[in-house]
Amino acid sequence: MPASKGFIPGKEGKTTYLHAAKQFPFKTIVAAIDFSEESSAALRCAQELARLQHAMLLLVHVIDPVGYAFPNGAPAVVDHDKAAHEELARIEAEVRQQGIPVHSRVETGIVCERILLSLRDHKAALLVLGTKAITGAGRAALGFVTRQLLAHSPCPILTVAPVNPKKPQKFGRWNNVLAATDFSAASLSALHYAQRVAGGHLIVLHSARCGRHLECPNCLERLRFLAPFDEAHGLPVDHSVTGGDPAAMIVQMAKKLRPDLIVMGAPSPAHTEHDLEHSTVVQVIAAVSTPVLIVPESRERYTDELIEEVATA
């Protein structure tokens, strides 16, 4: 298969080949839905992934209990609670008719906390979240809950933007994958997942902040080492080292190559809310319509301490 064209100016590696893993890494998929347009796209994506890969699908809807604390507010909240159960049951029945193993849960509590508990309870392999439509506001496309989940989720998160009716999007197959790495532990975990899910072509990108990428071969050699040559398999891999702001470079590359999926490492759990708002991950998600897979550093954080950490943040 030929390499993709239209790379950003910079130092690029020749096309190499690596082994494409046959086994889909996400066997238990959680879709967090709130019945909005954003969660509708996320549900479609999660449903298609589960159908194609024979994965278990868990639908989670969280009701914020704040309404119960206000005078004269309880009846409306109770009605919403009942309607949520009924709607989720209807969606679950429709999904099951397609032969997809599915369960649903309506939770009451702090949204981020309850989603993390569901991930822990079901040992989830992937969380699918909807994001708002892409706007000039940039990071405003991601709410507080999404930003917190990006930093604290123990499993990878797939963010899905609303579908443009004029540009129908096919979910479930990632032929061309763009993986961005800064050589951090999380981004190396992300590269591992990118190698496993890429169906036809993988582009590995690093943006060197030092500005010496044109004369220094070190970063390119590291990329080649991380995605090594493998003549025995047929997945083309391109390596590209650029200079400049990483978020801007990733967005620019995505617009040129139009990948089916972007893969990045998750922000550190130690980030403050200000850090999260301005992180490379959040900037990229807010600027592209392409699904983005966010992978945490390999760690097991299905613990009560994690839930308490987020709940008290």
Identify the residue with better confidence: 228 or 130.
130
Cβ 191 vs Cβ 204: under 8 Å? yes
In order of start, what are the domains of the chain with their CATH numbers? 11-311 (3.40.50.12370)
d(CA 161, CA 130): 6
At residue 115, the pLDDT reads 92
From CA 46, how far away is CA 32, in angstroms rounded?
Answer: 10
Give the range among 72-81, 173-182, 304-313 with minimum mean pLDDT.
Answer: 304-313
- Beta strand 176-180 pairing with 201-208: parallel
179, 190 in Cβ contact below 8 A?
yes
Q: Which two tokens stand for residue 209?
A: 């902040």
Contact (CB, 8 A) for 162 and 156 = no
Contact 305, 275 (CB under 8 A): no
pLDDT, mean of residues 226-246: 75
Q: Write down the pLDDT at residue 117.
A: 92
The Cα 271–Cα 147 span in angstroms is 10
Query: If pLDDT is split at 50, 70 and 90, which confidence band does 244 have?
Result: confident
State if pTM tops 0.85.
no
State the average pLDDT over residues 117-124. 92
Share of the chain above pLDDT 70, in %: 73
Are residues 91 and 43 in contact, defined by beta-carbon separation less than 8 angstroms?
yes
Confidence of residue 266 (pLDDT cuts 50, 70, 90): very high
Of the candidates 254, 64, 262, 252, which has an alpha carbon nearest to the alpha carbon of residue 156?
262
